[in-house]
Each structure stands twice: as structure tokens, then as C-alpha cells.
């Protein structure tokens, strides 16, 4: 075997050095962002939670609804930061994972927190004045409470990205590799659960909004469980005879709802829609008649059901393509 040439490059050692540099950089970012995160958690705990408790501006149930497990999340961050400052990355993150359920609880409470804040700002004059006073403190740098309340859920996503990066740049022989790997898996699982919770909350909000826009017997019960809102918009219904008629369509995972706008001068229901028909996606056959080329002339979709056929037109090519994609998704989900 040849004798290694002094000063010759060693690809293996160079790769290890790159991993180590990335690991150090990621660890530094995790530490620095955790300090900032804990500082912001502490501001809310000190200037809002603690003072609200002392003043009694909010009833305890409303205060709990607004902040959820904020103080316990703050305590978990304090504990993690101690480990990180001492360089105990694996041990600290593995210990932190015992507190991840707090983030799931926080996500479940997020919609309740938003509605509580909106209600108290509208109805509670004392709370509104208190909020303005606290948000005007220089420590908040112009941020409002509504800007700070999503912090834990934003931080959970940062945890996932940073801990995965830390694992990827930690060698398998490192003493904390197994701890970091377990932590990354648990944090990713929690982040996925939180994402699912957030999607469900957004969907529920869409369903309530659409339900409020609609009237008519067929429109009842739109917020029933298991239904997902996909899209809404104006399309032209092309009849066998006569001119195309504009109608508002609401597409859900299981049905397509066609609605007609109420007259603008209607005293009680102006701005709402009367449900005219519900079409089950499980029985739909979809075909794009024209509008494949991406030209400026729009296109036409054919939707066939056992007892009826719909021709829907749009003069916007991109809009029609979005409808085609969404309808295909809804049909596929029902038939599978």
C-alpha cells in the first residue's frame, strides 16, 4: 500500500468536518431562537397573564380559554433552555418531549382562544383598555397580543426543522445520537397532529361561514361531521336553450351545491344565497369538453349524474382548471 501523501485531501474527513460545522450552526440557532422564544413567552406570562389574574379583568374561565396551557409551555421552555445552555442537546430535547402534549392541547384550544379574544375586545371595555396599555410597552416592539398568541405553534414547527437538521448532522457514534433521533421522531409526530388539528379547525370555520351564507331546506346540516370544504366561486350554467346563467357553486368533499343570489334589495337576506340543487360527487361523471389548451377563451365542463346533466362554463381558463382539479379530487375521494 502506498504511503499517504502529507497534506493530501481526505474526502471522509472533509465530509465529517462539514457535518460538524452544520451541527454547530444548527445547535447555535436552536439555542439563540429558544432564548428569544422564552423571552416572548415570558412577556405574555408577566404582562398579561399575571396582571390579569391580579386585577380580575377576565373571569378565570375566559382567561383559561384565551391562554390555554401558556404558563406550562413557558416552564417547559425554561427547562429546555437550561439543558441547551450547558450543551446537553440530546438529554435536553428528550426530556422536553415529555411536555409535547402541551402543544397538542394548545392547538386544540386555538380556535377557542381566537373567539374569546374577539369577544372580549368587543364587549369588555376594561379588557380593551388593559390590552392597549400593555401592548404599548416598549418590550413588545409594536406587537399585539393577537400576534403573540400563535407563538407556541410556530415554535413547534421550528423545533421540528431544527431537531431534524441536528440529527442529520450528528454521527451515529455520537453519544446523543439516539436521544436526538427519538426526540426528532416525537416532535415530528406532534407537529403532524397539530397540523391536522389546524386543518380541521379551518375547515370547520369554512363550513360555518358557508352555512351562514345559505338558505333553503337543502342547505341544512352542511356542518355535519366528515365533510370538507374545497372551493367556491361563480360559474355559468349552460342550459339546453337560452343564455348561460351565473350561479354560485360550493364544492365539498361529498357534494356540489348550486345556489342563486338573493336580490340585493332583499331586506333580511341581502348578500346570501338560496340553495337550488345538491349533486352527490359519488355519482358524478366529469368531462372537460374544451379548455385544455390554456387559451384566453375559457372552457366548458360536463358533469353527468343519474338524473341530470350540468354544463358549466367559465371565461377564465385558470379558474376552470382549478375547478376541474377540485372536482376530480372530490369524485376520486368518494369513489375510493
Residue numbers of the chain with a pLDDT score lower than 70:
1-9, 12, 14-16, 216, 218, 225, 264-270, 291-297
Cα-based distances in Å from 202 to 1, 198, 228, 250: 66, 6, 10, 16
Whether the predicted model's global pTM rises above the 0.85 cut: no
Side-chain-side CA neighbours of residue 94 (13 Å): 12
The pLDDT value recorded for residue 119 is 95
CA–CA separation, 235 and 316 (whole Å):
10
Read off the C-alpha cell for 50. Answer: 399575571
Q: Residue 330's Cα: distance from chain center in Å?
A: 21
> pLDDT digits over 259-303, tens only?
998 876 655 556 789 888 999 999 999 998 875 555 556 789 999
CA–CA separation, 138 and 122 (whole Å):
25
The pLDDT value recorded for residue 293 is 52
Q: Hey, what domains does the chain have and what are their CATH numbers?
A: 12-211 (1.20.900.10), 216-335 (2.30.29.30)
CA–CA separation, 271 and 262 (whole Å):
6
Q: Which residues have C-beta within 8 Å of that of residue 51, sequence separation ≥ 6?
A: 130, 134
Per-residue burial over 232-269, b = 16 or more CB atoms within 10 Å of its CB, e = otherwise: beebbbbeeeeeeeebbbbbbebbbbbbebbeeeeeee
> pLDDT digits over 268-277, tens only?
556 789 888 9
CA–CA separation, 3 and 111 (whole Å):
68
Amino acid at each position: 500500500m502506498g504511503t499517504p501523501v502529507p497534506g493530501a485531501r481526505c474526502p471522509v474527513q472533509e465530509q465529517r468536518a462539514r457535518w460538524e460545522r452544520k451541527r454547530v450552526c444548527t445547535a447555535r440557532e436552536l439555542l439563540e431562537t429558544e432564548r428569544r422564544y422564552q423571552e416572548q413567552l415570558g412577556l405574555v406570562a408577566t404582562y398579561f397573564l399575571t396582571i390579569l389574574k391580579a386585577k380580575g379583568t377576565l373571569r378565570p374561565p375566559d382567561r383559561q380559554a384565551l391562554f390555554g396551557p401558556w404558563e406550562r409551555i413557558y416552564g417547559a421552555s425554561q427547562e429546555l433552555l437550561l439543558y441547551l445552555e450547558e450543551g446537553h442537546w440530546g438529554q435536553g430535547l428528550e426530556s422536553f418531549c415529555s411536555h409535547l402534549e402541551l402543544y397538542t392541547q394548545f392547538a386544540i384550544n386555538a380556535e377557542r382562544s381566537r373567539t374569546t379574544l374577539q369577544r372580549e375586545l368587543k364587549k369588555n371595555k376594561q379588557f380593551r383598555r388593559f390590552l392597549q396599555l400593555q401592548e404599548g410597552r416598549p418590550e413588545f416592539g409594536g406587537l399585539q397580543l393577537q400576534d403573540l398568541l400563535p407563538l407556541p405553534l410556530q415554535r413547534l414547527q421550528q423545533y421540528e426543522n431544527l431537531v431534524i437538521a441536528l440529527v442529520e448532522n450528528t454521527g451515529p457514534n455520537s453519544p446523543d445520537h439516539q436521544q436526538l433521533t427519538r426526540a426528532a421522531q416525537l416532535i415530528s409526530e406532534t407537529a403532524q397532529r397539530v397540523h391536522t388539528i389546524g386543518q380541521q379547525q379551518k375547515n370547520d370555520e369554512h363550513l360555518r361561514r358557508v352555512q351562514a351564507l345559505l338558505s333553503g331546506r337543502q342547505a341544512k346540516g352542511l356542518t355535519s361531521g366528515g365533510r370538507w370544504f374545497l372551493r367556491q366561486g361563480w360559474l355559468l350554467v349552460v342550459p339546453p336553450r337560452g343564455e348561460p346563467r351565473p350561479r354560485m357553486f360550493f364544492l365539498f368533499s361529498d357534494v356540489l351545491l348550486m345556489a342563486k343570489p338573493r336580490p340585493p334589495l332583499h331586506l333580511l337576506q341581502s348578500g346570501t344565497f338560496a340553495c337550488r340543487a345538491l349533486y352527490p360527487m359519488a355519482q358524478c361523471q366529469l368531462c372537460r369538453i374544451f379548455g385544455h389548451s390554456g387559451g384566453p377563451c375559457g372552457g366548458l365542463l360536463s358533469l353527468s349524474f343519474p338524473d341530470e346533466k350540468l354544463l358549466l362554463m367559465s371565461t377564465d381558463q385558470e379558474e376552470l382548471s382549478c375547478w376541474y382539479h377540485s372536482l376530480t379530487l372530490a369524485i376520486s375521494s368518494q369513489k375510493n
